[in-house]
């Protein structure tokens, strides 16, 4: 059982909201000036999320809320269906929130993605999972694997093709998606079938060991604890031992850590025979999530990766 002591905790002035804006910092130094900066950034993030206009759902979109995949209240996902689904590809979305908060229906998570991809004939599924302190990241990854398997098994109900699933996550959700992509043992144990590819949207971390051995935000102590034996068990970089499905790692070039972390992960994956692309974007951590799906070169670049996965996906994206 891993230790819960936190000898390396950095100032708690570094809140989760600040993490969502400045996750790439390797340390958050104490001091009134820095704490005031953090508070301003957190307030701005909250206001931005509260005032962002809702995207219009494509005509005929049907939403099925709270489909269960387990016994717990958190074991639920939402399904967004196009008006006419025919062998529809599925984007399976895992929300972020620092492993301790977040929700499958959060507007900046789903709205632009639904408007873009469901409008082109995709099914989009957004899942919840248990959070800290009830469930640690390894347990959260198992929840996501169960949800993913359940969604694959029900594909026919929605006019979807179980062979055409794409796993996508943002921030902590991208870390959990990377755990699934890096651990065939985990996915096989929970009945997950092979999927087309994985898209990581500014992953919170890919090398947990490296992160924890440096100065880091206190939130990571909450997630990963103080036991060095636990860190590699929830580190996608360390779990990666064989070729994976194609993977796209989108990373914020506005911050120091995300793109080098993604490039190091990609180099190991490519050496094992995987196809991995790193896509730097001049966007903040939250913007990488919120702006995906808007008509932009950023969305076009992600679509280019998706087209490379499957001919039918490419056909739908060309419409």
In angstroms, the CA 278 to CA 155 distance is 30
| Residue 34 CB burial class (10 angstroms; 0-12, 13-18, ≥19) | middle
In angstroms, the CA 213 to CA 197 distance is 31
Residue-level pLDDT at 40: 37
In what helix (H) or strand (E) does residue 305 lie, and over which residues does it extend?
A: helix 297-307
Residue-level pLDDT at 57: 86
Other CB atoms within 10 Å distance of the CB of residue 7: 7
Q: Quick check: 96 and 172 in contact, CB under 8 A?
A: yes
Look at residue 94 and give its three-state secondary structure.
strand
In angstroms, the CA 277 to CA 4 distance is 36
Look at residue 64 and give its three-state secondary structure.
strand
Which segments in the chain show pLDDT lower than 70? 1-55
Q: Quick check: 175 and 206 in contact, CB under 8 A?
A: yes
Q: How far is CA 110 from the centre of its chain?
A: 12
60's CB contacts (< 8 A; 6+ apart) are 82, 83, 84
Residue-level pLDDT at 21: 40
Task: Report the candidate in 159, 143, 174 with the shortest Cα–Cα distance to residue 69.
Answer: 143
Phi/psi at 67 (nearest 5 deg)? -70, 125
Q: Which residues pair with 198 in a beta bridge?
A: 167, 247
Q: Where does 164-295 have alpha helices with state H? A: 172-182, 184-189, 208-212, 218-224, 236-239, 258-271, 285-290
Task: Report the candidate in 276, 282, 286 with the shortest Cα–Cα distance to residue 106.
Answer: 286
Residue-level pLDDT at 86: 87
In angstroms, the CA 150 to CA 169 distance is 17
The pTM assigned to this predicted structure is 0.86
In angstroms, the CA 172 to CA 233 distance is 16
Q: What is the DSSP letter of 276?
A: E
Q: Where does 6-136 have alpha helices with state H? A: 16-22, 32-51, 107-117
Taking the CA of residue 200 as centre, how many other CA atoms within 13 Å lie in the half-sphere pointing to its CB? Answer: 36
Q: Quick check: 90 and 165 in contact, CB under 8 A?
A: yes
Residue-level pLDDT at 55: 63
Q: What is the DSSP letter of 72?
A: S
């Amino acid at each position: 059982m891993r230790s819960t002591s936190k000898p390396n905790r950095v100032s708690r002035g570094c809140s989760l909201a600040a993490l969502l804006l400045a996750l790439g910092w390797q340390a958050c130094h104490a001091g009134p000036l820095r704490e005031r900066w953090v508070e301003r950034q957190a307030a701005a993030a909250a206001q931005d999320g509260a005032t962002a206009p809702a995207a219009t759902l494509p005509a005929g979109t049907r939403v099925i809320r709270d489909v269960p995949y387990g016994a717990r209240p958190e074991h639920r996902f939402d399904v967004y269906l196009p008006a006419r689904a025919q062998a529809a590809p599925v984007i399976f979305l895992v929300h972020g929130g620092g492993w301790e908060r977040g929700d499958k229906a959060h507007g900046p998570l789903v709205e632009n993605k639904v408007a873009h991809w469901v409008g082109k004939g995709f099914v989009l599924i957004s899942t919840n999972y248990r959070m800290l302190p009830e469930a640690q990241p390894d347990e959260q990854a198992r929840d996501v694997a169960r949800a993913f398997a359940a969604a694959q098994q029900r594909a026919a109900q929605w006019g979807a093709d179980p062979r055409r699933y794409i796993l996508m996550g943002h921030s902590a959700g991208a870390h959990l998606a990377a755990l699934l992509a890096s651990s065939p043992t985990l996915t096989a144990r929970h009945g997950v079938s092979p999927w087309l590819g994985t898209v990581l949207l500014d992953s919170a971390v890919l090398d947990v060991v490296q992160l924890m051995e440096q100065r880091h935000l206190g939130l990571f102590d909450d997630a990963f604890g103080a036991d060095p034996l636990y860190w590699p068990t929830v580190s996608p970089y360390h779990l990666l031992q064989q070729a994976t499905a194609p993977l796209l790692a989108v990373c914020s070039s506005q911050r120091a850590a995300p793109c080098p972390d993604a490039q190091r992960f990609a180099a190991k994956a490519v050496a094992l025979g995987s196809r991995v692309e790193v896509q730097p974007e001049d966007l903040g951590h939250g913007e990488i999530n919120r702006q995906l799906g808007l008509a932009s070169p950023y969305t076009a670049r992600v679509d280019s990766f998706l087209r490379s996965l499957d001919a039918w996906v490419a056909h739908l994206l060309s419409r």
